[in-house]
Chains A and B, each alone.
Chain A
Amino acid sequence: MKLKAMTTTWRLMLVLALSTAPVSHAIEQKLVLTGSSTVAPLAGEIGKRFEQENPGVRVDVQSGGSSRGIADARSGLADIGLVSRALKPEEQDLKSFTIALDGIGIIVHRDNPVQTLTDAQIVAIYTGKITNWREVGGGERPITVVNKAEGRSTLELFLRHFQLKNSDIKAQVVIGENQQGIKTVAGNSGAIGYVSIGTAEYEASQGAPIRLLPMAGISASVENVRNGSFPLVRPLNLVTRVEPEGLVKRFIDFARSKAQDDLVQAQYFVPLAR
């Protein structure tokens, strides 16, 4: 009886598996993109549009981090790597193509009365020299410093801009992804963190209790990232091992073209100024 039930189950699963078999078209070409989880959603959307305009082509996007994107592009496991930063000096053997920009802004809780912080104050807060909001004009509240995990592109940009080393930073919370940062700050009225500007603008507009702070007097907005006046900006890159040609070149040109700007903006990044 058990045997019968089991074979029935296996038969059902076989039917399920076969029912998803392709109707009849042959997939001629496949592009594999792996890398940064920040860029992956955007790459996925661009890929879907590319598939619609080029029937017979499949674009598979996997995540796993910027380092994986670099490693897979080098080893050939992926056709294109997704990297959420500029290439480092030791990675100059690869070719990179920027498809969008992302600004990094400081966020605090909406109930925090502090309206602006100077660069020196930010450094002091992050290195643990200032520990209470009262010292910078806020209420009597201990500061909860939110930092990104080691190796993340956002962190490296932040460190480079403020000329710090990661071991200098005294944080109370270390986060991985952007959304974790936003939710941490939203849940703690004494928290301060740094996240993608586009994402923070969107979340704030949806009612999340966070606020972007201006940096060096320039307000943190997508507009200021686009016109180049905001100081802390990172490129989102597609990288390849050799000069792209054929399908890879078509995809990269497609991704960088103006027609895809709406996709870039839909993910709360900033399209390239052309």
Chain B
Amino acid sequence: MSEAASLAVSRDRTLDRLMGLAVYASALLVAGTFLWLLGDLLWHGAGRLSWSFLVSVPTNAGRAGGIGPILVSTLLILGVAVAAAVPLGLATAVLLAEFLERRSLFGRFVGLSLDVLAGVPSIVFGLFGNAFFCIFLGLGFSILSGGLTLACMALPILIRTAEASLRAVPDDWRLGCAALGLSRAAALRHVLLPAASSGLMAGLMLGIGRAMAETAALIFTSGYVDRMPSSLLDSGRALSLHIYDLSMNVAGGDANAYASALVLIGLLILINGTSLWLAERWLNQRILTL
């Protein structure tokens, strides 16, 4: 008995060691590759970064000057995308997680269609956005078209993550709310959504990340114009599109392309940080874990 037991223990220990090794190695590999990428960007682009780069207009086809109007366009497109996707996505996630049975037909149809939407190539989204938002709805090449198209692209990730985090909230809390006589709407507002807020934020960050990383979809919807937009119906170039143009289309645009990429990453850090802070604020205000 003891021999079998000690064999089992030592096998467990080797497995433990192997697994630990594998996990640490993977984490190091991933972190290392990302730092390599970031280092490359910093090496080539940090020289061009400055406050004037952030606010001045691009000149000489983007090779000189800055990215001021482009930043504004990007933020506006993002704003439109978030304003469209968050209410729609949250509503769908709440429906899927709270109101529908797991086996309901409508729920499965919505879930399936979201999974498929996640796999549609971005250029198809761009062409669809062009045909639907620009031509059919008459918005033309505009920030609005671009933002709405991006909202369509970010929805699947948003909904999936939101749904998962809502489902993760323990059922006891729902029963507690019911015991207190709260309507489901009130329970959602005061208890469930704050409890799921960290997961919701993770979904939002992934969705925003996906939106900001998009290029192909925006070529056909929000367009190429690098002027400061004067309204949401103006065409405006997004940062990712600017990076693409500078690195692939304009000779000598590499340095500014790298710098723009760094600005994009910086923007992401800012947005992610804000989202996390917001999530913690809600959670700490509503839920006391004893």
Contacts and interface: CB of A to CB of B under 8 A. Distances in A.
Q: Do chains A and B touch in the complex (CB under 8 A)?
A: yes
A176 B223 CA distance: 19
B231 A180 contact: no
Interface string B223-244: 1111111111001000000000
Interface stretch (A12-20, A116-124, A129-137): A12-20
Interface in B121-136: none
B258 interface: no
Interface string A156-186: 0000000000000000000011111010000
A45 interface: yes
B52 interface: no
A89 interface: no
A10 B83 contact: yes
A178 B231 contact: no
Contacts of B278: 5
Contacts of A41: 61-62, 245, 249-250
A148 to B, nearest CB: 13
A261 interface: no
A60 interface: yes
A40 B141 contact: no
Interface in A167-219: 176-180, 182, 198-199, 202-203, 206
Contacts of B197: 2
Contacts of A20: 72, 76, 228-231
B13 interface: no
Nearest to B75: A16
Contacts of A244: none
A64 interface: yes
Interface residues of B, number: 38
A202 B86 CA distance: 46
Contacts of A202: 251-252
A64 B220 contact: yes
A206 B60 contact: no
Interface in A84-135: none
B83 A16 contact: no
Contacts of B227: 58
Contacts of A40: 224, 249
B230 A44 contact: no
B85 interface: no
Given A41-B249, A45-B61, A177-B248, A61 B224 contact: yes
A44 B251 contact: no
Interface string B181-194: 00000000100011
A267 B267 CA distance: 30
B272 interface: no
A67 to B, nearest CB: 13
A198 B250 CA distance: 12
Given A10-B83, A17-B232, A266-B60, A62 B249 contact: no
Interface in A57-78: 58, 60-64
A2 B194 contact: yes
B285 interface: yes
Interface string A1-32: 11101100010010011001110000000000
B229 A62 contact: no
B219 interface: yes
B286 interface: yes
B179 to A, nearest CB: 23
A180 B248 contact: yes
B251 A203 contact: yes
A21 to B, nearest CB: 6
B251 A179 contact: yes
B60 A13 contact: no
B226 A44 contact: yes
Contact of A16 (B76, B141, B220, B252): B76
A61 B75 contact: no
A60 B224 CA distance: 8
Which of B62, B83, B251 is packed against the most chain A CB atoms within 10 Å?
Answer: B251
Contacts of A147: none
A22 B286 CA distance: 43
Which of B226, B248, B285 is packed against the most chain A CB atoms within 10 Å?
Answer: B248
23 contacts: A1-B282, A1-B286, A2-B189, A2-B282, A5-B282, A13-B79, A17-B232, A20-B72, A44-B224, A44-B226, A60-B223, A60-B235, A61-B224, A62-B141, A62-B225, A62-B235, A64-B219, A177-B249, A178-B249, A182-B251, A199-B251, A203-B252, A206-B252
The 7 closest A-B pairs by CB, nearest first: A41-B61, A199-B251, A13-B79, A22-B230, A177-B248, A179-B248, A62-B224
Given A22-B231, A41-B245, A177-B248, 9 more contacts: A1-B285, A17-B79, A20-B229, A20-B231, A40-B224, A45-B60, A58-B227, A60-B235, A202-B252
Interface of A: 1-3, 5-6, 10, 13, 16-17, 20-22, 37-38, 40-42, 44-45, 58, 60-64, 176-180, 182, 198-199, 202-203, 206, 266-268
